[in-house]
Every structure is written in structure tokens, then in C-alpha cells.
Structure 1
């Protein structure tokens, strides 16, 4: 399958973080530059206002002297304008004085003498009788000019205005230098933020990449993967969910394998059942003839014949084996019906007492399934299982030993157990005890069919046949679901 192209979380986080860092750096730089520009212009205007305010009174006095004829016209005003132009504190571009009609009385540019200015700033300053200023844009590459107008007003009489224009070139040069520093600082912050975002993004993506690698390694053949250490965050929650999913997968796979094994076993048992049914049929015919001949020989013989006795015992054993094989071939057919567990247990215990009378063992029955559970089973076949397990337990018990039958209910499952105090099942024999024709008894004492039949019957009821064994204590437990 072709891998789908995508933008990883690390890259997405890095892009978003870089964008935020760039945006915040730009906003911070713009705010810092605007704030500094405002402060510089305020400082320039305050200095210019202080200058024109301090010169207003000398100019008014000079105009009074000229009107009174004390001094010649224009001489003192020219000196004041020259002093303004040569001021080293401010880069003055122009300075002039007008009368109340806007006529130039003195100007730093002598060619402007006598002209009348009607610009809005002059008229506003005369009308409003207060200091005013405006920023005049520069021509082409020239910087703006701060143009200030100071009304020459005293005792209710307006003499005119003092106009001074100050270049903002030094201020703009400072702002350009500041802009370069801000750009450098913003670039440094951007690079640092980008690097920090990359490291954080990589640290965030690394556990996800490890978890993704673990997820990729999961398959039906490999569910035992080792997860990274638990994290106390959202990734840890994702790991927990993945761990739970793995556990469910393991259980599902275990159930699937068990179901497949049961299916294979059922098919195998069905095949064996067909074979043994045919074998039993073919064996019964000559066996019947042999038994008839033995009966006739016994009738004709006047004295006991030991050889006939041995032959009769052999044919009886063959009959028993054939009968068990026939039972095994018919385990697939069931006739289930519903009944209470206490009734089933009491009848099974009664049959067990009768079946175990020929054994030198003590039998004990204990029904702990209270209240009784409702069962759905083939009573005859399930009692066959219990009797087979009890006879096996009696065979394994020493003389005087105890064989117990008990019942209980646990989480919707009916449990019936057979326990003996025999020598136990050897470790090497345990994997094979449910195999057909495998027996732990001495030669001639067992056929190896009983436990295979028991297991098949229990599984046909949707249950399981389990056992635990150690020297002196062996317990076989039948587990079948009940309807209660």
C-alpha cells in the first residue's frame, strides 16, 4: 500500500509557531517604532515650542520700538531671525515674522520680504491667538518639516505671527537607525523562536513516532509488542487506549485460535467417529459369531475349560471397547433439555454412589450451587461424563481414599468438580490425556477413549473440561454456562 503524503504534526506545529513568532515580532517592532517616533516628534515639538515662545516677547518689543520710532524698521527683527537660523539646537529651515494681515515683515530669505501669506496655519494662529503646528510633507526624498506658528499678541492687540519651520531629518535618521535595530532584534527573536519551536515540536512528535512504530509492528502474528513508558499527558492516554486495544486483540486472537482448534478437533473427532462406527460395525459381526461358538462349546463341555474362560474374557473386553467406540461416534448428537441444577446434581450423585460400590473408596457429594441454577443440557450424556470422571478418580485413589463430587456457580457458569487423593498425573503425560486412545492406566486396564468422549461432550455443551493435578490431589472441573 502506497504511503499517503501528509504534513506531520511536528511540521504543522513548527509552521504555526513560526507564524506566531513572526507576527508577534512584527507587531512588537511596529509598536516600538511607532511609540519611539511619537516620543521623538513630541520632544522636537516641545523644544521648538519652547524656542518660539521665548522669542515671542522680544519680537513684540522690537515691533513696538519700530512703531514708536526708537529703532529703524526691520533691523532688530532681522537679527532675531538670523539668531533663529543659526540656532545649533534645532535644524531650522525657515523663520519669518508677519503682521496681522499676513504680510512678511522679515524673512530668512530676503526675496520673500513684502509678500502676503494667507496660509491656513497663519490665519488660524492669529484668529485663535494660541500656538499651532503642523507637519508639512517633504518634497520627493526630503524629510517632513515641522511648521510652527506663534501669535504675537499682547494686551488685546495682535501684532502678527512668528513662523519657524524645523527639519525632521535628524529625527528621521534616528528612526531609521531604530528601525534597523528593531528589525535585527525581531529577526533574532524570530530565529530563536523558530529554533525553540522546532525543539519543542520534535520533543512532542518523538513519542508519537515511537508509538506509531510500535503500532506498525503490530500484526496477528505479533501482538506482544512493548509499549513506551507511560506518560502523564494526552499521549499517555493514547498509549492506554492502544494498550487496551492490544489486550482486546489478544483476547480476540486467543478466542479465534481456540475456536479454530475446537473446529479442527471437532472435524477430527467427526472423522474418527465415522471410522470407528464402521470399524465397530465390522467387528461386531465376527464377534457375535465368536460369542455364539463360545456359548456352544460351554454347553457341550462337561468340565470347566480354562482356555474358553480366557477367550470369553477377551471377547468381553472387545465388546466393551466396541461399545465405547460406538458411544464416541455418537457424541455429536445431543438432546438438550432444561432442568434445575439441584435435581441434576442429586441424580448424578445417586448414580455415582451405585457405580462406586465396587471400589474401596469413600464418596462425598457437596452441592454448593445455591440458589439452584437453570441448566440446558443432555442429562444422559453429561451424567456419562461425571460417571466416567468418578470411575477414573476411584481407579486412581488408594484403598480407603476419598472421592468427592461438588457443584458451584460462578459468573454465569455452572461448575461441577470431581476430586481424588491419588498419586496425580505425571507432568509428561498431561499434554496428552485428552487425546483419543491415550491412557495413563496399565496395559489392558484402559482404552484411552473415556476422557476424549468427556471432553467432546462438554464442548458440545459450549463448556470446557479443565483439571489441576499434583501428588495427592487431582481435580477435574466441568464448566458449562447456565441460563439463570
Structure 2
């Protein structure tokens, strides 16, 4: 083969490679642009859904709060004394109003997380003080005994205090609602290995492996969640992961359940994008 023919062949191959590369780049660019457009559409849809749920949540909570307030006044005997039967009916009304108000709040929180609308407001949180307030409030609402165990110096970590309060409340509420035979719920908070460990233990009947698998499913219908939607635990795990931690479950049939989550104490490890967990 002559030098000219060889050069022409090299040039032809180079041209084919260049054209092929250009086509590949063009296709990748178009696919990337399509993906970006799809992502923008999904974000708009998620934001619109969150806005709609926000309106519905507000419209539900407002009349329910008025109903609960009226029921509480009746229970206190402000309008006059109640018979034992009337007192039980009023207690049922108040408790169910509270349940639906919490459900509306959970749906709103979940929609905002899915839409990536949550932003962490990190501050140095004293977890002993935070937990003390949560336990004090829940003791007034639930008959099950709640113990707080937080030995040593108060554990502190960079966290969103409002969201951490919700996560702890969710775990305690879940334990009290679904461990009917439990006599004591224990909230433990300790600092170890550059993280704060928060655990909620009950001395109830525990869970089977099937029930364990349903814990973090939305609207699960297994025994531990039969009286609720399961959103509380889903939201709790998302909140913890947003802080760079994780949720763990240890349960034994007949011996109770412990749910634990960790929160890093360092500022750098304490924040993850909320949207990253929306699909979990």
C-alpha cells in the first residue's frame, strides 16, 4: 500500500471516529437534557402535591383542634359534671381527634420531605434537656410508664432540635401504641464514639420477622402498625438519615423491642440533603 493510500485510510478512520464520537456526545447531551427536564417536572409535581397536602392538612387540623378543645373542656367539667359514661365518650372523642391531627401532620411532613422542601437548622442540641421535655409531655397523655435514662454529662450534637424532638416523640409514641402489654417504656440517651445514641425500649411481646420487615413501610398493615399508617417510623428514619445517622431495631418475640438511632456529634457529618432520602 502506498503512503498516500495509507494516509487516506488513516484520515478516513479518524473522520469516522470523530463523527461517531460527536454523535455519542450529542446523544448523551440530549439524554442529559431530557433527564433534567424530567427531574424539573418531578420536582414541580412534588412541590404541587406538598402544597395541596399542606392546605388539606390545615383544613383538617383546624376543626379537629376546635373539637378536641371542646372535648377537653367537657372532660375538665367546665360546663358541668359528667357521668362516667359521658366521660368515657368525651375521652374517646379527644383521643381520636388527637390521632387524626397527628396523622395530618405526618402526611404534611412526609410530603415536604418527598418534595425536598426540608432544610436542616443545625444548632448545638442538649439531648437530655430535649428528651426531658418530650417525656414530660407524653407522661400527661399516656398511661404507660416512661423512664428516662441519661447518665453522665448531657450528650450534645449538632442537629435540628425540632426534627430531633419529632423523631424521639415518634419512637416513644410507636412503642406506647403498639406494645400494649408493656409496663414500662425506657428512653436512653448516651454519648459514645463521636455520636449520640438514642434508644427506646419496651418490655412487651416483641415482633416476628414479618412484623419487623414492615416497620418502615408506608401504610403497612402488620401487627405493630395496625392502628396507624407507619408514617411516623418512615419519617423518623428519614429525619435521622438527614442528620447522617441510621435507625436500628432489635426485637425478640416475648422479650420486647428496642429501636435506636445515632446522630453524629460533628458538624460536618450532621447534614444530608433531605431529597436524597425521599425515595427510600
Q: Same fold (TM over 0.5)?
A: yes
Alignment of 1:337-376 (within 5 A): 337-339=123-125, 343-368=126-151, 370-376=152-158
Secondary structure of 2:248's aligned partner: strand
Residue 231 (structure 2) pairs with residue 458 (structure 1): no
Match of 1:321 among 103, 114, 129: 103
| Cα deviation digits, residues 389-411 of structure 1 (max 9, x gap) | 01111123345601101122332
Is residue 424–residue 474 contact of structure 1 (8 Å, CA) maintained in 2?
Answer: yes
Aligned residue for 1:445, secondary structure, equals coil
The whole-number CA distance in structure 2 between the counterparts of 1:453 and 1:436 is 10
Against the structure 1 CA distance between its residues 337 and 439, is the aligned structure 2 distance closer, same or farther, given a 3 Å change threshold?
farther
1:428 is the counterpart of 2:194: no
Q: What do residues 148-204 of structure 1 show as CA deviations (whole Å, max 9, x unaligned)? A: xxxxxxxxxxxxxxxxxxxxxxxxxxxxxxxxxxxxxxxxxxxxxxxxxxxxxxxxx
Deviation readout 1:57-81 (Å, 9 max, x if unpaired): xxxxxxxxxxxxxxxxxxxxxxxxx
Does residue 392 of the first structure (1) align with residue 178 of the second (2)?
Answer: no
Matched, 1:378 2:160: yes
Structure 1 match to 2:119: 333
Q: 1 or 2 for the larger relative contact order (CA 8 Å, sep ≥6)?
A: 2
TM-aligned CA deviation for residue 344 of structure 1: 2.1
The answer for the alignment partner of 2:34 in structure 1 is none
Task: Answer whether contact 2:206 2:251 (CA < 8 A) is retained.
Answer: yes
Partners of 2:217 and 2:247 in 1: CA distance: 13
1:473 aligns with 2:256: yes
Q: Structure 2: give runs of 5+ residues left out of the alignment.
A: 1-42, 68-89, 268-280
Name the TM-score, length of structure 2 as normaliser. 0.58
Which protein shows a greater Rg? 1
CA contact (8 A) 1:277 1:329 kept: yes
CA separation of 1:410 and 1:442: change in aligned 2, threshold 3 A: closer
Query: Could you say if the C-alpha distance between residues 465 and 278 of structure 1 is closer, same or farther in structure 2, counting changes exceeding 3 Å?
Result: same
Residues 227-271 of structure 1 deviation map (CA, whole Å, 9 limit, x = unaligned) = xxxxxxxxxxxxxxxxxxxxxxxxxxxxxxxxxxxxxxxxxxx89
Following superposition, the deviation at residue 380 of structure 1 comes to 1.2
Describe the SS at the equivalent of 1:356: helix
> Does the CA contact (< 8 Å) of 2:182 and 2:204 recur in 1?
no
- Give, in whole Å, the separation in 2 of the partners of 1:271 and 1:459: 24
SS in 2 for 1:349: helix
The verdict on how the C-alpha distance between 1:374 and 1:483 changes in structure 2, with shifts beyond 3 A counting, is farther
Asked whether the equivalents of residues 397 and 403 of structure 1 are also in contact (C-alpha less than 8 Å), the reply is no
Cα distance in 1, alignment partners of residues 154 and 96 from structure 2: 45
Aligned partners of 1:360 and 1:401 also within 8 Å: no
Q: Is it true that 1:280 corresponds to 2:53 in the alignment?
A: yes
Measure the CA separation in 2 of the matches of 1:318 and 1:391: 14
Equivalenced residue count is 195
Segments of structure 1 that go 5 or more residues without pairing to the other structure are 1-269, 295-308
Does the 8 Å contact 1:349/1:405 carry over to 2? no
Deviation per CA, 1:325-351, whole angstroms, max 9, x where unpaired? 112234432111013xxx321331232
Q: How does 1:13-52 map to 2 (within 5 A)?
A: none
